[in-house]
Structure 1
Amino acid sequence: MKEGGDFVLIFSYLFSFLLGLCIGSFLNVCIYRLPRGFSLVTPPSHCPSCSVHLKPLDLFPVVSFFWLRGKCRYCGARISPRYPLIELLTGAGFFLITWKYGLTVHSVGLLLLYAVLMVATFIDLDHRIIPDLLIVFALTAGIPLAVLQGPEVLKDGLFGSVLGGGALLIVALLSRGGMGGGDVKLAFVIGWYLGWQKAVLALALAFVLGAALGVLWALRTKKNLKTAIPFGPFLSLGAMLAVLTGDKLISGYLNLWGS
């Protein structure tokens, strides 16, 4: 019985990783097409250099990149290594979430959130925007998932979204443009999926990481701290740290003040 249970666990972890690789391939499409207003369905995947439609053998996550040595099979144009990187990051994230939370409705929501955060991160890095369509999708999918988990989860999500989005809205108003509307909406989504406690932790981690890396970036580039840097990636990183380590961090903080 134990061996059977171990096999199921190993299979679920492997499945989640492979699923993440495949989802990561689709996220690459979203990252390229969403900010440009292109359809996610048509035209089919094609080489941006020669426009040849790619065959199934060209589209295996990670494997095709190395098999083709990072070049298009048809015209020899270089393929960005960011494509397999995003696929691997998605696979790793799916594996870690499944490893920590198992296969539940809650973990499905976290997997969905992770995919949304991946897309938001790289679009924000490239274009300094977080598309509204991405936010609408996250909320449309997240509401029924919260309902399925019961009224307590639904209430926690509502409180978390108002707290997370409201906190960044105040920062955006006080900074007079230093914080974008997309960041506020993304914080609203993070609060909905994580609940108020982990939403607060995610925001705190995002601000700490953003400040630390902002200082390092300013020192490296010799620019002042008023130069705008995208905050979406820090929000995403803070949220995932809260997902994977939040219980221990919150418990440790409460124990520290309770002792």
Structure 2
Amino acid sequence: MIYTITISIILTYFSNKYLSYVREETNKITYNIPIIYFLIITLSICVYQKYGLTVESIRYIFLIPFLVGISIIDYQTTYIYDITIVSGIIIQGVILISSINIENDYKSHISALFIGLIFSYILAKLTKSLGEGDIGLFALCSFTLGHNYSIYMIFLSFMIAFIYCIYIIFTKNKSVKESIPFAPFISLSTILIMLTENQILTSYFDIMYNVL
């Protein structure tokens, strides 16, 4: 546990340095450092509690700071920096290569990278609701989760975004015409899958089965 907390603190430090750099460059983003530390450390502990000291937990713990940082920037600027996505994919690639000898399903993550990239690209062209940065983030999250969860993660992110849009319509009494940042929904769906795996999907089908 102490190693998990130490690693998450170090990762949060670098995440804050990156956010500070973006703030100086754009003068557009604001954030609360203690909240970021709390989020990243708490989520890392939850991941460790669920998976223990495994390749899966290492993979997820290193992804969490990217999800938090990208979501904050996209929420306030509606922009995702390519260098952030590329850096995340490189780190996940290093973890994958380092674990090839102890992980049998490494091909699942490689195929998931292309599934997330191609599927989200098609959705972007069909729905006009995604930007290039969102496509990159889908690819990063799919690469991390593996192909068993990549399509589910994309579907879940759209469902969360849909719920958010309904919330805006009913609470603010206005239609959703302007573009909304999509990275927070991708990040939230990825975190939910990390912590619950496919339990949300299973519960949904159980409810639908009982209703029908």
Among candidates 98, 102, 114, match of residue 162 of structure 1: 114
- Residues in 1 aligned to 2:96 and 2:150: alpha-carbon distance in whole angstroms: 15
Paired residue type of 1:134: T
- Are 1:183 and 2:134 an aligned pair? yes
| Structure number with higher relative contact order (C-alpha < 8 Å, ≥ 6 residues apart) | 2
Q: Aligned with 2:130: secondary structure?
A: coil
Please name the residue that 2:65 is paired with.
115
C-alpha contact (below 8 Å) 2:11/2:62 kept by paired residues: no
Summarize the alignment of residues 126-145 of structure 1 with structure 2, pairs less than 5 Å apart.
Answer: 126-145=76-95
If each structure's helix is expressed as a fraction of its own residues, which one has the higher value? 2
1:220 is matched with: 171
1:95-110 equivalences under 5 Å are 95-110=45-60
**5+ long unaligned stretches in structure 2:** none
Query: What amino acid sits opposite 1:121 in the alignment?
Result: S
Q: Supply the distance in 2 between the matched residues of 1:256 and 1:155 (Cα, whole angstroms).
A: 33
- Displacement, 1:240? 0.8
Q: Return the match for 1:85 from 35, 39, 47.
A: 35
Q: Show structure 1 runs of 5+ residues with no match.
A: 1-11, 39-47, 49-79
- 2:124 is matched with 172
Distance 1:255 1:126, change over 3 A: closer
Q: CA deviation at 1:109?
A: 1.2
Displacement, 1:248?
A: 3.6
1:23 Cα shift?
Answer: 3.0
* Structure 1 pair 219–256 and aligned structure 2 pair: CA distance change class (3 A): closer
Task: Tell me which residue corresponds to 1:199.
Answer: 150
Q: Is the Cα–Cα contact under 8 Å of residues 109 and 142 in structure 1 kept in the other structure?
A: yes
1:145–1:19: structure 2 CA closer, same or farther, 3 Å change rule? Answer: closer
Q: TM-score, length-normalised on structure 2? A: 0.84
Flag the 1:172–1:255 CA change in 2: closer, same or farther, 3 A. Answer: same
Q: Given the superposition, is the C-alpha separation of residues 212 and 104 from structure 1 closer, same or farther in structure 2, using an over 3 Å criterion? A: same
SS of residue in 2 equivalent to 1:226: coil
TM-score normalised per structure 1: 0.70
Greater CA radius of gyration, 1 or 2? 1
**Structure 1 vs Structure 2: percent identity of aligned residues?**
23
Q: How many residues align?
A: 204
User: Matches of 1:256 and 1:127 in 2, distance apart?
Assistant: 38
Moved more, 237-246 or 163-172: 163-172
Question: 2:24, 2:150 → 1: CA distance?
Answer: 30
**d(CA) in 1 for partners of 2:49, 2:185:** 23
Corresponding position of 2:4: 16
